[in-house]
């Protein structure tokens, strides 16, 4: 799956977000050996393809807990997201 995630990081990803999500979801239900074998089989094809589509904005969905009684601290939350994105090599505009 790390190689799939690396393909998602490209400026024009060879794997759509939906495809990556389906791969992750399928890993919950398929034996790990079988899942990894299928990934190894399809990775060469994924790496060599170019999707015929425009790349839009990247999305990051932040979820919380309905039982969390603390007030939402947007500044602190954004700082944590920015910090995480910087670990991925993303330059955060100031």
DSSP secondary structure string for all residues of 18-67: HHHHHHHHHHTTS-HHHHHHHHHHHHHHHHH----S------------TT
Whether 30 maps to a domain, the answer reads yes
**pLDDT score recorded for residue 84:** 78
Tell me the per-residue pLDDT of 21-58, one tens digit each, with 9 for 90 and over: 899 999 998 899 999 999 999 999 999 988 777 777 76
Whether 9 maps to a domain, the answer reads yes
Q: Which domain holds residue 15?
A: 2-48
Whether 62 maps to a domain, the answer reads no
Q: What's the total number of domains in the chain?
A: 1
**pLDDT score recorded for residue 44:** 93
* Distance spanning both ends of the chain, measured CA to CA: 32
% the chain with pLDDT above 90:
23
49 token code pair: 């393809």
**pTM of the predicted protein model:** 0.56
| CB within 8 Å of 51: residues ≥ 6 apart | 12, 13, 14, 16
% the chain with pLDDT above 70:
85
């Amino acid at each position: 799956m790390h190689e799939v995630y690396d393909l998602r990081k490209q400026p024009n990803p060879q794997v759509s977000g939906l495809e990556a999500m389906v791969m992750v979801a399928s890993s919950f239900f398929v034996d790990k050996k079988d899942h990894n074998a299928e990934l190894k089989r399809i990775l060469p094809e994924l790496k060599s393809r170019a999707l015929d589509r425009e790349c839009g904005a990247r999305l990051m969905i932040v979820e919380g807990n309905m039982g969390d009684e603390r007030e939402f601290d947007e500044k602190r939350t954004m700082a944590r997201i920015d910090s995480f994105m910087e670990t991925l090599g993303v330059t955060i505009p100031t």
